[in-house]
A and B are shown apart, each in its own frame.
Chain A
Amino acid sequence: MKFCELEVGERFPAVRYEIPDEKINEYRKIFGETENSLPPFLCCLYAVKPLFEKYSIQPGTIHAFQEVELFKEIKLEERAFRSYGEVKEKYSKRGKNYAVFEITTEDSRGNVVHRIKFGFVIPE
């Protein structure tokens, strides 16, 4: 991913995925026990798939900020999702180049479960 090549409004193709049991177990090892719902944090991690499939992240890229909106509690047995997104913003500030990506995730019935924005500092 090069800053000069990013275009605001550029969309990345939607991806469909399922969250396997082992990811829930790995989540529990790091963050502790879950309850009866799927931790939205797990979905947020998977939601970056379209971003990482579209762009390769350069070494040295720094995660600067994050916005998350949650719209729906996800039952633990719900595992199939679809995420899509776009380049929302790009700007330079204090000598650093920032890019903001917005990703929306839907459940298997098309209900939006979350919308997240990732802000990255991208090396030249």
Chain B
Amino acid sequence: MEIGYKLKEIKFKITQEKINQFAEFSGDFNPIHVDEEFAKMAGLGGTIAHGAIGMGYIMKMLHSEFGKDFYERGRFIIKFISPMRPGFELKTFGEVKEISNDTIYLSIGIEKVDDASKLIVGEAWIGKGAHSSDG
């Protein structure tokens, strides 16, 4: 693996059905996700997906690439910078930025398929120096 290497992307679509399914799955029925009127009143312009849906796909991408190493020596930080809305076609992205001390450092996130605008951005570390605390 070299600097500039791009991880295999995962494409997915946000639908209200998927959001509702995730609300059932997680038990998170915050009305900003499932109640269109409440979400509009809250100034969000409509329902937005749980950020954790994006996180789930990012974890899947990292595991697909790094396997057990990610599960045992992985760390990531992500920020939810723009809402994932019903109808959005999205994909994960990941790119190796640095390799040092047996640790791979990557930029990661979720972007829209049509214009590549970023909705979730973050960083990941895989390897011996990945952890910031003791397990």
Which among A10-18, A56-64, A79-87 touches the partner chain? A56-64
Q: Do the beta carbons of B60 and A32 come within 8 Å of each other?
A: yes
Contact with A along B85-115 (1 / 0, CB 8 A): 0000000000000000000000000000000
Q: Which of A59, A60, A68, A111 contacts B76 (CB 8 A)?
A: A68
Q: For B70, list chain A residues within 8 Å (CB).
A: 70
Q: For the complex, give the distance between the alpha carbons of A71 and B128 in Å.
A: 11
Chain B CB within 10 Å, residue with most, of A32, A63, A111 = A63
Q: Which of A23, A41, A64, A73 contacts B55 (CB 8 A)?
A: A41
Q: For the complex, give the distance between the alpha carbons of A70 and B134 in Å.
A: 11
Contact with A along B63-82 (1 / 0, CB 8 A): 10000101111111111100
**Number of residues of chain A lying within 8 A (CB) of chain B:** 34
Q: Which of A26, A63, A111, A115 contacts B25 (CB 8 A)?
A: A26
The answer to whether residues A66 and B26 also contact, given A40-B71, A60-B42, A115-B133 and a CB cut-off of 8 A, is no
Say if the beta carbon of B24 comes within 8 Å of chain A: yes
What range describes how many residues of B lie at the interface?
Answer: 35 or more
Q: Which of A31, A37, A44 contacts B71 (CB 8 A)?
A: A37
The answer to whether residues A65 and B60 also contact, given A70-B71, A73-B71 and a CB cut-off of 8 A, is no
Q: For A30, list chain B residues within 8 Å (CB).
A: 18, 21-22, 25, 53, 56
Spell out A's residues near B (CB within 8 Å): 23, 26-27, 29-32, 37, 39-41, 44-45, 52, 57, 59-74, 111-112, 115
